Amino acid sequence: MNRSSLYLSGFSLTSSPLPLLTCPALGVPHGFSTRLGGVSEGIFATLDLGAEAGPFGTGASGVSQHVLLNRRRFAEALGFPANRLICAKQVHGREILSVSLDGAGKIRAVRVGDSPGVFFRGDSVCEESALNGGGGQNLPSDSPVSGCGGRGLPSNSPLSESGGRNLPSDSPLSESGGDCPPSGGESGAGFVCDGFVSATPGLLLAVKTADCVPILFSDRAAGVVGAAHAGWRGTVAGVAASCLAAMVSLGARPERTVAAIGPCIHPCCYEVDDPFVAAVSASSFSSLCLPHILRTGAGRYTADLPAMNRSILLACGLREENLFTSGFCTGSSCALFFSHRATGGKRGLMMAGIGRL
């Protein structure tokens, strides 16, 4: 029995051939890995999909044989050959690459939607929210961060029909650099970005996390999928909006798109400080993110990254019924997931992957 038994907020934990968390509403092959089912050892045990360095050190080509074997298991569990698993050196930004296959079957990537401001003018959202009297929902009235948070959504949809016209023109990307060879094992090729979109069958788009927020997207009618890595910097920079914008550029529609926010650190384990709050306040998406910071004491707060991403995606036109959030906190479930915070950085990396077959 491959389908299991545990359903949480639209998610299902499958056990065979590999323990994976899935969100069936996505409707295409996908999975959020756990730390179970791999061959890595020690702090990387067992399904490390990206942290352990190979014999050539960390960086461009440095992933271990264990990681390569684990990646093969992950890809094949989702029905893809290992050489079609695409991931990147992630840089906590908001750049999304659109990947496809060229006539010779080589993976090609172009930069799209690297400016969510094209779709979502965060600064004006902030001003509008203030005008609408929106205050932070979760903040005490004396909170230093309550000034700009808002319930009010922008009157103009950030992903309006006209949005797609302003995308930067396709620019060929270097296929060198990055830590994840598209070939799944050969060195020397890779991408630097924080997410992918594609309308091409046969490609498994993956992002790596260990507390950061993995988000998978699917518009089945358009045949477009996406994956985004949203740490706190990427979250407040709007990488989720950027990924959705990139999907729209391939024909997806926000109101039809399903998004699944996978296992990540939740506020129970994510205490932050004044500099964090200041950085969020200065971000493009401050009005949507600040309400999800809760002050717990002098200079102490908790931040809810999945809720921030939910708010951003809803503001971008996703329907609430198409937006799913796993209840799993990586920091609270170290037997099941890798957590950067809970281990002081001594951990492997999980993957969230999605593709069409």
The residue ranges that bind Zn ion (CB under 5 A) are: 266, 268-269, 329, 331-332
Of 60 and 264, nearer to Zn ion (C-beta) is: 264
Of 201 and 327, nearer to Zn ion (C-beta) is: 327
Query: Nearest distance from residue 162's CB to Zn ion, in Å?
Result: 41
Structure tokens, 66: 């264990």
Of 266 and 340, nearer to Zn ion (C-beta) is: 266
Element (H, E) at 31: strand 30-33
Number of neighbouring beta carbons within 10 Å of residue 36: 15
Query: Nearest distance from residue 342's CB to Zn ion, in Å?
Result: 8
Query: Nearest distance from residue 329's CB to Zn ion, in Å?
Result: 3
Amino acid letter, residue 1: M
Of 95 and 211, nearer to Zn ion (C-beta) is: 211
Query: Nearest distance from residue 48's CB to Zn ion, in Å?
Result: 21
Rounded to whole angstroms, the Cα distance separating 80 from 84 reads 6
Q: What share of the chain is helix, strand, coil (3-state, %, to 5)?
A: 30, 25, 50
- How many residues can be counted in the chain? 357
Of 97 and 294, nearer to Zn ion (C-beta) is: 294
Query: Nearest distance from residue 345's CB to Zn ion, in Å?
Result: 17
Of 115 and 332, nearer to Zn ion (C-beta) is: 332
Rounded to whole angstroms, the Cα distance separating 247 from 251 reads 7
Query: Nearest distance from residue 204's CB to Zn ion, in Å?
Result: 29
User: Facing residues of 8 across strands?
Assistant: 11
Smallest CA-to-CA distance from 175 within 260, 88, 247, 244 is with: 88
The three-class DSSP label of residue 7 is strand
Beta strands in 91-223 (DSSP E): 96-101, 107-112, 191-192, 195-198, 204-209, 213-219
Query: Nearest distance from residue 333's CB to Zn ion, in Å?
Result: 8
Structure tokens, 59: 């960086």
Structure tokens, 178: 């990055």
Of 12 and 332, nearer to Zn ion (C-beta) is: 332
Rounded to whole angstroms, the Cα distance separating 103 from 113 reads 24
Of 139 and 303, nearer to Zn ion (C-beta) is: 303
Query: Nearest distance from residue 341's CB to Zn ion, in Å?
Result: 9
Rounded to whole angstroms, the Cα distance separating 142 from 184 reads 52
